[in-house]
Structure 1
């Protein structure tokens, strides 16, 4: 050494049993339905009404192709116990919203009610957002019109298409959550 201190980069290690990569593919002939695949795991999912697209646009209903990472897990405490997860957890509150107004400074960010610009309600009566994985899609850098509120959440009966998210059966998502960490890559397409 030349007398200078060398700062080593720290890398967060994955917990044993954590999945490093989840692959999301659409089913042949049915672009709004897909499969999530990982070692020892496969589950059906609903995809966006626009299928999987590489050129995601706000309001197109497409699930964005790419590699995304989960940032946090939100859950409705009044609809179930705290889920097991290696992700930061946040309880969803009745005033939680998500800004989907491209011209607003809080675009693709959480906001609180009351909020006048266009937004997604996180406290939903249909239970789709009882469990929500917030993904890093269009987070850094955020670009207007490139899509907002792209989450992993619970599916409707019959796996009806989403507005661009990836939706699981509750049992499948609950089985997967303990094996997902911040470094898990969700590869779509």
Structure 2
């Protein structure tokens, strides 16, 4: 099962179409993606896990692996660290992203298998599909959808699903 996100703001797949937003740096070839560039990497990426804030919503209905977030969850984005592009526990001494955020953007996070098998330092980390801000402002390289659309999409997705990011 494959879904596609385009830089024109369309997310589509079997029986599903929604508005989306990608990185503020546009879409770049995966080989040109760099940590912190704000770009979304073009290519087809497997769906890994679905993280969610259990204090803000019930577990999403999906056949994908579900991981309830905890306040100490983070993601390493330090290219020179051995845990680069991996989940980490906070506090964490190297550069990282907090997954337990005050805003609602990470209330639901779909982990995409970008630069994770194997990890190449500096080619970008934490390419997620998550909730869009109310004004659909561009992301730091992720895919963002409205909450209702993302929850509906998760009901449709099955293990082995893939997300294509295209120009």
- Find out whether 1:50 has 2:25 as its counterpart: yes
Q: CA offsets, 1:85-136, max 9 Å, x none?
A: 1111110000000000000000000000110110000000001000000111
Aligned to 1:41: 16
Aligned to 1:110: 87
Question: Is the contact made by 2:7 and 2:21 (CA closer than 8 Å) also made in structure 1?
Answer: no
2:5 to 13, 24, 33: 24
Count, aligned residues: 164
2-structure distance, mates of 1:163, 1:75: 19
Aligned to 2:121: 144
Q: CA offsets, 1:64-88, max 9 Å, x none?
A: 1000011110000000111111111
**TM-score, scaled relative to structure 1:** 0.85
Q: Which runs of 5+ in 1 are unaligned?
A: 1-19, 28-33
2-structure distance, mates of 1:39, 1:181: 12
Aligned to 2:51: 74
Task: List structure 1 runs of 4+ shifted beyond 3 angstroms.
Answer: none
Q: CA offsets, 1:1-20, max 9 Å, x none?
A: xxxxxxxxxxxxxxxxxxx0
Q: How much is the aligned-residue C-alpha RMSD, in angstroms?
A: 0.7
2-structure distance, mates of 1:128, 1:167: 8
Equivalence map 1:158-169=2 (5 Å):
158-169=135-146
Higher radius of gyration, 1 or 2: 1
1-structure distance, mates of 2:72, 2:5: 31
Q: Which runs of 5+ in 2 are unaligned?
A: none
Select between 79-88 and 101-110 the one with higher mean Cα deviation.
Answer: 79-88
Bigger relative contact order, structure 1 or 2 (CA pairs below 8 A, ≥6 apart) = 2
